[in-house]
Structure 1
Amino acid sequence: MMDAGANPSHALALVLVDELARGGVTDAVLAPGSRSTALAMALHDDPRVRLHVQIDERSAGFLAVGLARATGRPAPVVVTSGSAVANLHPALVEADTGHVPLVLLTADRPPELRQTGANQAIDQLGIFGRQVRWFVEVGVPEDRPGAVAYWRATVCRALAEAGGLSGPAGPVHVNLPFREPTVPLTDDGRAAADVPFRQPLEGRAGRRPWVVVDRAPRHAPAAELASLGARIAGTERGLVVAGQTTAHAGPALDLARAAGWPVVAEPTSNLRSGEQVVGTAHHLLGHAGFARAHRPELVLRIGRTGLSRNLAALLGPDVPQLLIDPDGAWQDPDRAIGELLVADVELTVAALRDHLAVPAGSDWMDRWRSADRRVRKVIDEVLDADDRPTEPRVARDLGAGLPDGTTLVVASSMPVRDLDQFLAPREHLRVVANRGASGIDGFVSTALGVALSGERPTVALSGDLSLLHDANGFLLAPDVERVDLPIVVVDNDGGGIFSFLPQHAFSGSFERVFGTPHGRDLADLARLHHLGHQPVTTAAELLPAVDAAREAGGIHLVHVRTDREQNLALHRRISREVAAALDELA
């Protein structure tokens, strides 16, 4: 039996939290405030939901993004009214563009306090526009028949819409105006047991959700599968290209193996394992001769790409390309894709595999594999020639050296590109990144959310600006939260990616407005937030430092100092030596 509600606000909060738990929610994030008191107390008191308290609303939003990315389950984030709501917008943008199931539960002032100059009262109705999958203004809670069913059904729809009821997963916004009292007391100060909310709060029997939503996967038509299977079987010079996706790797890799096609897989695709994968594709395709000689005749695309300009240059509109997407998401910034198949990825590629014969040898695959081995050897020789901890070597060694079953959360800008360019294919490593909007904001909190999910041991790879931009993420309830997270921080005192862009040539303005050196010592940040801090001065020290941080537990900064100009020179040297090696193969 549920406790009786002391007042309508208290009753609404109890029902919302109960229905969230029934709907499979295991974690919720709260940024403290007054108007959200009823929800905060209900979440705190319900043992089915782990509550994570974060002072900064922007960080709270990204903490929920990390939880949702790690688990695939909708993650609610609760904030009070006013500017607190606006601070959720960056996380909402990432959830929208990255297809992350996020539920924004925003407390609000009741209608009589809006547009009156009342404190923390802004217009929250539709504040996020078209970037949410669904918006609902629940209305001021009232003690009337039908209210509980309405509240419960609303929660069920919010979870379903966030999880992809009618399109890709993404954020929903539930606006909740509360009248006082928002604590479990009646208007005259009596407790709930004295004058309870009159409507029964119970949900469905057996702790079932009020509405059970089943979303069956989309199957491609049999005739279309047969036709596409025949095209794949008749095409030697084919390519599988995988970007960020939630599809499991096995079926797609099996299809590529059966077809004799190479696989170009960004790290966040989590398809970067097996002998079909060409880990040095970015470098290979940067060589004009190789790219010309290896133009594919058919490309099967999965997920959203965007890390390699060399790959994008190869996959122009003149190359036949088919994208498989379960929701029909339009992942085509270069207007190059000729066909879009709206169907479940795993089911589709497994069915296509069944249309192919027993795997056979492929000269096309052999040429890609031979060039990949040659370029990998060149890269490793350059990186291993010096024991300085360079940015490419940190990405290569960290990705290769983490134990099986680890999740690596990687920041945008250069870290994720270094991982893409230098990580050799390996199994049993999950890579997570905020590549929806591709911003550096919220990285610390996203990584903490992934770690808090408890799904796998977690390690993070960050640049210094990504870390500093979300330093408030470290304010996560230090009294009760135990998070185990080593964060490898590549610190080049600024924005290293801009050194690779055209503005680097304009020396007069470059350093101040693009390089943006901050001059901060991250050891001071670690002391402020009571984090472990371990400087790394040689490449050989990296993995032992990460291992020591994992064994000690808690949050640790593994601090690697690098130089932006030296990093640019190293990338250019690698490009030259790769080009020379490929010239010899031609």
Structure 2
Amino acid sequence: MESAANPSHALALVLVDELARGGITDAVLAPGSRSTALALALHEDPRIRLHVEIDERSAGFLALGLARATGRPAPVVVTSGSAVANLHPAVVEADTGQVPLLLLTADRPPELRHTGANQAIDQLGIFGRSVRWFVEVGVPEDRPGAVGYWRATACRALAEAGGLSGPPGPVHLNLAFREPTVPLTDDGRARVAGPFEASLAGRSGGRPWTIVGRAPRHVPSAELRSLAARIAGTERGLVVVGQTDANVAVVLDLARAAGWPVIAEPASNVRTGDPVVGAAHHLLGNAAFARAHRPDLVLRIGRTGLSRNVAALLGPDVPQLLIDPHGGWHDPDRAVSELLVADVAATAAGLTALLAVTAGSDWADRWLEADRRVRRVVGSVLDEHDRPSEPRVARDLGAGLPDGATLVVASSMPARDLDAFLAPRDHLRVISNRGASGIDGFVSTALGVALGGGRPTVALTGDLSLLHDANGFLLSPDAPGIDLVLVVVDNDGGGIFSFLPQRRFEASFERVFGTPHGRDLAELARFHDLGHADVSTAAELMPAVDAAREAGGIHLVHVRTDRDENLALHRRIQHEVDAALADFA
């Protein structure tokens, strides 16, 4: 490994080398002066792709998108001061969404803190309890043991971000650099005694300084047999799956062995076929069906929360067992009666083996028959006219993407429409920032997913989500090629509020909730040199998306809708569903 000109240069070289040894392939940088040593070290290391963003908030979400796509933390580097505070929204999402993220924040040394020095704020513990681990690494010095300390710290940071002591999440290393921060012994403002003397070498063979191994948490065999017996003795059961990293196949195998239907949110990536109920939101919006189909036992996996109708079914009077590998307390309604802290895949596979055979049941058959009936009715309503609607965009986009594609979905109405209208299908990966469920950082998250995913990537967003993070398009012009199609449902404001009680306050609604922006998204596309296509009929959507994918680069596919019409359509759909189920319950 090369020698270092000064301690700041040494720390940067060692950290970047250890991150690369730990499997890091991408890093994000928002430019600044105090982080110079890290910026140069990352730029010069061929093992790591460096992505440069002007806006620190966008940089944080770009790193988060990379992590969602790859499962590995993507370091994000910023300079000192308010730049650090701008990472907080991404930290909140990484915390609540259990996404590995590594924050490398440059800082002024202690002698410049609390003195009025430029760009110096209190960065120690700035993210509070949102991070899994925080370390004030200390001012780099040429002393015995420094290199081992830096390397071990980098290894632990990666391990903690990946879930060493709990669920995956953000880790914060605060790095105080004294000048010179450039790889010189004298930058004209600060002198050091000479080059860094200690060896910077890591372990031989390119190995990390510390290798961390993890074993899945298994359920004791007696407890597993007892749970299998309960499942076998329960006909009226459900498997409900929210956002999770659990293996899709083993969850479906367990449901088939139990003879239970599955309700799966899109980002669970379990909505892939029988026995999945795709229209659960509409079915459970019918009061008679919901009463007649109250389950006797529910297995819950992951964090749910998209459908109020599903949440209403899962009340405290329904026995519910939540399985989570980290003991996540995913229970806002205080309805879960048991929490099993165990690896989901190992537990599901063990239960399936004990149940031994695939079971059938009238209970599951009735759920699936009702699902087919409702999806036919909903489809006929959506297909009546060729005018684009928000539900039809979600349905057609989810159905029309090629096998192997990734669909990144914004919070608010896009995520809910996908949940309500996506039919079960195979080979589609859905990603959504549903940790804190904010609309912020969506563009950057989608760009990060596209950079890290290695597969066709399409995003479904509303106009406000797009505008909220338009700075995300300000990636460095020499960034690696990004292929991303953003389908933008533009209803000129916040459409979700039309479904909420705020809608009754007509005098205030439009200004403080509807918030029309009046912006022309074609002008935004031109400003950022993006491809742009207007879609005026429903039939034009998928040809426009396919053409944009084939052209490559970043494109907006723009679909204009009307908020009042959307509300009326949702109400009509539920009315037609109720009529279709009148003789069913």
Q: Which residue of 2 aligns with 1:56?
A: 55
Moved over 6 A (4+): none
For residues 169 and 519 of structure 2, the distance between their equivalents in structure 1, rounded to whole angstroms, comes to 36
1:188 deviation in Å?
Answer: 6.8
For residues 463 and 188 of structure 2, the distance between their equivalents in structure 1, rounded to whole angstroms, comes to 51
What whole-Å deviation, never above 9, does each CA across 1:271-294 have from its counterpart, x for those lacking one?
001210000000000111000000
For residues 491 and 361 of structure 1, the distance between their equivalents in structure 2, rounded to whole angstroms, comes to 44
Q: Which residue of 2 aligns with 1:15?
A: 14
1:215 deviation in Å?
Answer: 1.3
1:482 deviation in Å?
Answer: 1.4
For residues 243 and 142 of structure 2, the distance between their equivalents in structure 1, rounded to whole angstroms, comes to 47
Matched-pair contact (CA < 8 Å) for 1:301–1:321: yes
For residues 237 and 357 of structure 2, the distance between their equivalents in structure 1, rounded to whole angstroms, comes to 17
Equivalent residue letter for 1:417: R
Q: Which residue of 1 aligns with 2:528?
A: 529
1:291 equivalenced with 2:258 (yes/no): no
Q: Which residue of 1 aligns with 2:568?
A: 569
For residues 413 and 45 of structure 2, the distance between their equivalents in structure 1, rounded to whole angstroms, comes to 41
Q: Which residue of 2 aligns with 1:367?
A: 366
Taking the TM superposition and a 5 Å limit, the aligned residue runs for 1:153-192 are 153-187=152-186
For residues 329 and 47 of structure 1, the distance between their equivalents in structure 2, rounded to whole angstroms, comes to 38
Structure 2 vs 1, CA of residues 372 and 3 (structure 1 numbering), >3 Å: closer, same or farther? same
Matched-pair contact (CA < 8 Å) for 1:97–1:437: yes
Matched-pair contact (CA < 8 Å) for 2:180–2:187: no
For residues 148 and 357 of structure 1, the distance between their equivalents in structure 2, rounded to whole angstroms, comes to 54
For residues 220 and 509 of structure 1, the distance between their equivalents in structure 2, rounded to whole angstroms, comes to 54
Q: What is the DSSP-based 3-state SS (H/G/I as helix, E as strand, rest coil) of the residue aligned with 1:548? A: helix
What whole-Å deviation, never above 9, does each CA across 1:352-371 have from its counterpart, x for those lacking one?
00111422321001100111
**How high is the TM-score relative to the length of structure 1?**
0.99
Matched-pair contact (CA < 8 Å) for 2:34–2:108: yes
Equivalent residue letter for 1:65: L
For residues 412 and 122 of structure 2, the distance between their equivalents in structure 1, rounded to whole angstroms, comes to 34
Matched-pair contact (CA < 8 Å) for 1:247–1:346: yes
1:220 equivalenced with 2:214 (yes/no): no
Matched-pair contact (CA < 8 Å) for 1:71–1:455: no
Q: Which residue of 2 aligns with 1:281?
A: 280
For residues 207 and 353 of structure 1, the distance between their equivalents in structure 2, rounded to whole angstroms, comes to 41
Equivalent residue letter for 2:319: P
What whole-Å deviation, never above 9, does each CA across 1:246-299 have from its counterpart, x for those lacking one?
111100101101111000000000000121000000000011100000000000
Matched-pair contact (CA < 8 Å) for 2:393–2:538: yes
Equivalent residue letter for 1:75: A
Residues paired across the two proteins, number: 585
1:325 deviation in Å?
Answer: 0.4
Equivalent residue letter for 1:98: G
Q: Which residue of 1 aligns with 2:306?
A: 307
For residues 257 and 222 of structure 1, the distance between their equivalents in structure 2, rounded to whole angstroms, comes to 21
Task: Give the percent of matched residue pairs that are identical in Structure 1 and Structure 2.
Answer: 81
Matched-pair contact (CA < 8 Å) for 2:289–2:584: no
Matched-pair contact (CA < 8 Å) for 2:388–2:538: yes
1:532 deviation in Å?
Answer: 0.4
Equivalent residue letter for 1:253: L
1:582 equivalenced with 2:581 (yes/no): yes
1:60 deviation in Å?
Answer: 0.1
Q: Which residue of 2 aligns with 1:251?
A: 250
Q: What is the DSSP-based 3-state SS (H/G/I as helix, E as strand, rest coil) of the residue aligned with 1:477? A: coil
What whole-Å deviation, never above 9, does each CA across 1:363-408 have from its counterpart, x for those lacking one?
0011001110110000000000000110000000000000000000
Q: What is the DSSP-based 3-state SS (H/G/I as helix, E as strand, rest coil) of the residue aligned with 1:460? A: strand
For residues 520 and 34 of structure 2, the distance between their equivalents in structure 1, rounded to whole angstroms, comes to 38
Taking the TM superposition and a 5 Å limit, the aligned residue runs for 1:98-497 are 98-187=97-186, 195-497=194-496
Q: What is the DSSP-based 3-state SS (H/G/I as helix, E as strand, rest coil) of the residue aligned with 1:585? A: coil
Taking the TM superposition and a 5 Å limit, the aligned residue runs for 1:29-108 are 29-108=28-107
Q: What is the DSSP-based 3-state SS (H/G/I as helix, E as strand, rest coil) of the residue aligned with 1:28? A: strand
1:189 deviation in Å?
Answer: 6.5
**How high is the TM-score relative to the length of structure 2?**
0.99
Equivalent residue letter for 2:296: E
For residues 546 and 470 of structure 1, the distance between their equivalents in structure 2, rounded to whole angstroms, comes to 21
For residues 242 and 583 of structure 2, the distance between their equivalents in structure 1, rounded to whole angstroms, comes to 31
Unaligned runs of 5+ in 1: none
What whole-Å deviation, never above 9, does each CA across 1:325-354 have from its counterpart, x for those lacking one?
001111111100011111110110010001
For residues 238 and 584 of structure 1, the distance between their equivalents in structure 2, rounded to whole angstroms, comes to 23
